[in-house]
Structure 1
Amino acid sequence: MEFLNSLKKRLKHYSSPFDHWELNEPLTEEAIEEICKTEIIDLTKMNINYDGTRAIDGGEGKFREGISDGGKAIKFRCFVGKENSKDFPNLSKLIEELRSKDTYGYISELIKKNLYNSYVRVEVICDRKGFWLKPHCDIKEKLISG
């Protein structure tokens, strides 16, 4: 339970400019290796007008213009779920750890938010040089991000 151990033993809390936490070594070496080996397109090498944001992953229609069926988002991030869990055994273990009562209970106390009926979503993102994330409000269903 590397993630929970990191929370309990290697966590730093900051209150300025808002409450946030820094985790030290929350993932196993094997999980990190899976992330590093995930094949994700380098958008900077594609012949598109890449603006440095994640809008290309299906958010904005300009990346699908001229495609009658609406096109398909370019895969530049990978969600880990049932359909590909065999490809990510260590990240799947992380998901199970995050779903455990001990872990979500500890996080719930930490952030003062009940996570009992929440869902875990793990994704591998490859933000490259030039990437920036527009200031935004996440959907109300998103309770925590890391």
Structure 2
Amino acid sequence: MTRDSAAVKRPTEPKSSAEDVVQTFLQSIDSGKRSEKPYRHWSLADCLPADTLEDVLVLPFEAPSLEGVSGKRELHNNTRKYFDVDNRKAFPVCEAVAQAFQDKRVTSHIEKVFGTDLSGTYLRMEFAQDIDGFWLEPHTDLGVKAFTMLLYLSRDPSHADLGTDIYNADKTHASRSPFAPNAAMIFVPGDNTYHGFEKRPIEGVRTSLIINYVTDEWRAREQLAFPDQPIA
């Protein structure tokens, strides 16, 4: 299964540096739009430099088969991909993006704008590739996640209606975030932050980057970008 991007040779250096990612993302935060219903969340655009988005889209990770099972991402833990220690070493763009989101300027601005405390948390970045048949039941992310950012990547025009589904506290459907490449939905997990993905047709591969800061209670340390470096 291939994504909407063509296979190319992996660059030896990222087209945009970690510093470029920092500056672009900080500007994106400051231009974001906040919504209060059904819970506080933000919509961002132009989150990454265009060159960085291009490099991420051509990462040579195959979209895994669902094998007829969906509803929770953890059902497929053995095939999930992360900007982890190994992939940071292997792919310069993974290193650049991870270093940017580990940067104190970014974490401090996240704390200030979104009202969360990242002290002692760890960066976790999942490269998600969803194919037809994928769906997610409503869930809150409450627990060990102190911040959730769903960064949409794929550029297929048919993906315009593949944004995250947002639910009321009683799990009835409230709205759907707009899906556009390099746009994102952000929220601080709480007991009412229900979100998911209603099953609907997916052409090709719905690609996104799921960015969390998780507490020290996170058991799967191999998923973390910097497992020995908590946010100061």
Q: Normalising to structure 2: TM-score of the pair?
A: 0.49
Cα distance 1:51–1:103, how it changes in 2: closer, same or farther (>3 A)? closer
2:67 maps to 1:22:
no
Aligned position for 2:34: 13
Q: Distance in 1 between matches of 2:121 and 2:131?
A: 30
Task: Verify the 8 A CA contact 2:28 2:44 in the aligned structure 1.
Answer: yes
Q: Secondary structure at the match of 2:147?
A: coil
Cα distance 1:118–1:5, how it changes in 2: closer, same or farther (>3 A)? same
- Identical-pair percentage: 25
Deviation at 1:139, TM superposition (A): 5.6
Cα distance 1:31–1:123, how it changes in 2: closer, same or farther (>3 A)? farther
Deviation at 1:42, TM superposition (A): 4.3
- Which consecutive residues of structure 2, in runs of 5 or more, have no partner in the other structure? 1-21, 150-232
Alignment of structure 1 residues 29-40 onto 2, 5 Å = 29-38=50-59, 39-40=61-62
Q: Normalized per residue, which structure has more helix?
A: 1
Aligned position for 1:104: 107
Q: Quote the RMSD (CA, aligned, Å).
A: 2.1
Deviation at 1:98, TM superposition (A): 1.5
Q: Distance in 2 between matches of 1:141 and 1:42?
A: 26
If you compute each CA radius of gyration, which structure gives the higher value, 1 or 2?
1
Q: Distance in 2 between matches of 1:11 and 1:19?
A: 13
Q: Secondary structure at the match of 2:48?
A: coil
Cα distance 1:42–1:83, how it changes in 2: closer, same or farther (>3 A)? closer
Which residue among 77, 81, 85 is the counterpart of 2:84?
81
The one-letter code of the counterpart of 2:47 is P
Q: Secondary structure at the match of 2:139?
A: coil
The number of equivalent residue pairs is: 126
Task: Verify the 8 A CA contact 1:35 1:124 in the aligned structure 2.
Answer: no
Aligned position for 1:63: none
Aligned position for 2:69: 50
- Which consecutive residues of structure 1, in runs of 5 or more, have no partner in the other structure? 59-72
Q: Secondary structure at the match of 2:143?
A: coil
Q: Normalized per residue, which structure has more strand?
A: 2
